[in-house]
Structure 1
C-alpha cells in the first residue's frame, strides 16, 4: 500500500509522464501498455491509475504535450512580425530535437480520428492559431496570409518528419526569407 505522500508526489507524476513519453514513442499509443509504462517508471500498476484513471487520459495528456501548442502560444505572447516566425521555428526545432518527441508528434497527428480531443487540438492549430500568426505577421487575416502561415508550419513539419541535410539555422532563415517574399 502506498501512502499519500507517494501518491501525491509530483515527482511520481513526472516519472509516469517521462516513462509514458519513452514507451509511447517506441510502441505508439495503441501498442504501449500501462504495464510497460509502470515498469519503466518503477511504480505499481495501481499507482498509475491514481494519476490517470484510464490509459486514454494518459494518452491525451502526452499527445497534447507532443503538439507544438506550447511553442506557438509562447511565441504569440512575446513576438510579432518576423521575430514571431523565427521564435516559433527555433523552439520548434528544439522541441522536436528528441527522437521520442518527434515520434510522439507523428503518432499524435495520426491519432486524431481515434481521439476527438486530439483532433480538436490539431484543428485549432490549423485554424485559430494560424489566423493569430497571420494577424501578427501580416497585420491581416487574408487568405493569402493564412496560406503563407500554413506553408511555413508545413515546411517545419516536413523538416521534423525527414530532417534535411540543410542545417536548422539555414533552413529557418530561408523559410523566413521566403515568407517575406510571398
Structure 2
C-alpha cells in the first residue's frame, strides 16, 4: 500500500467516529505512520483536506454535523429561550457539548454568532421561497393562498424559534457601525432574493408588471415586521385570521396582474 493510500484510508476511518472539521494533519499522520508534512502534501493543504473530508462524510450513511453547525444550532436554542441579552458563548458551548475554546475558534463574540445564525436562517428561507411563491401565485385562489402563506411565516418565526423577535431585539439594541453594516448585508440578501423571484413571477404574468419587484419585497417584509411588533406589544388584541386576511386583500389587490379590457 502506498503512502497516499494509507493516508486516505486512515482519514476515511476517522470520519466514522468524529466530524470532519475536528480531524488534523497530526492525527492522520500518527495513525498512518508518516510525518504530518506528508499528509499536508497529499491533500494539498489544510483547506484541501477539509474539503475532501467534508465531501466524504456527507456521502456516509451516518454523517456527523460539523462543529460550526452544532454551534449555530445550539446558539439558536440558547438565544430563543434566554433572549439575546441573557445568552452567552459559555452557555452555547455547554448546550453544544463543546469547549468554550471550540466556540471561540469559529465565532469571535456573541454578536458574531448571532449574525451567523441570522444568515443561516435566511439562507434556508431563500432555498424554499421560489417554489412557495410560484405555488401560491399559480393556485386558483391566490388571495387565500397568500393569507395561508403569511400565517405560516408568522407562526414559524414567532412560535418555532422566535428568530424574528430576536432580530428586532438585536437591531434595536445595537448601534455599532460594523454590526449595522453586516445586518444590512444579511437583510439585503432576503430582500434581493424575494425581489428576484417576484420579478420571475412578473415575467410569467402572475404579478403586476407595474410594480418594482424589490420595492414590493421590502413592502411585504415591512408588513410582516410591523405585524410582529403589534403582536409583541399586545397579543390579546391580535386576531390572526382577520389580520392576515386584511393584509392579503391589501397586498393582492395591489400585486395582482391587471386584466386588460376587451374592446
CA-atom RMSD in angstroms: 3.8
What TM-score comes out, normalization by structure 1 length? 0.68
Alpha-carbon shift at residue 68 of structure 1 (Å): 8.5
Compared CA separation, residues 162 and 89, structure 1 to 2 (3 A): same
Aligned to 1:54: 108
Alpha-carbon shift at residue 179 of structure 1 (Å): 1.8
Alpha-carbon shift at residue 132 of structure 1 (Å): 3.6
Compared CA separation, residues 85 and 153, structure 1 to 2 (3 A): farther
**SS state at 2:113 partner:** helix
Task: Tell me which of the two structures has the higher relative contact order, counting C-alpha pairs closer than 8 angstroms and 6 or more residues apart.
Answer: 1
How many residue pairs get aligned? The number is 177
Aligned counterparts of 1:7 and 1:49: Cα–Cα separation in 2: 18
Alpha-carbon shift at residue 32 of structure 1 (Å): 4.0
Aligned to 1:36: 91
Pairing 1:6-155 to 2, within 5 Å after superposition: 6-8=18-20, 9-10=64-65, 15-25=70-80, 26-28=82-84, 32-49=87-104, 52=106, 54-55=108-109, 58-67=113-122, 70=125, 73-74=129-130, 75-76=132-133, 78-80=135-137, 82=142, 85-86=146-147, 88-98=149-159, 100-107=162-169, 109-110=171-172, 113=177, 114=179, 116-127=181-192, 129-130=194-195, 132-133=197-198, 136=201, 138-140=207-209, 142-143=211-212, 149-155=217-223
Contiguous gaps of at least 5 residues in structure 1: none
Compared CA separation, residues 103 and 87, structure 1 to 2 (3 A): same
Compared CA separation, residues 104 and 122, structure 1 to 2 (3 A): same
1:103-135 deviation per Cα after TM superposition (whole angstroms, max 9, x unaligned) = 322245456941534312312434552364366
Compared CA separation, residues 88 and 68, structure 1 to 2 (3 A): farther
Query: 2:195 touches 2:214 (CA, 8 Å); kept in 1?
Result: yes
1:61-120 deviation per Cα after TM superposition (whole angstroms, max 9, x unaligned) = 201245487067242354436367345413311321236323322245456941534312
Compared CA separation, residues 149 and 118, structure 1 to 2 (3 A): closer
Query: 2:78 touches 2:92 (CA, 8 Å); kept in 1?
Result: yes
**SS state at 1:10 partner:** coil
* 2:238 equivalent among 156, 160, 166: 166
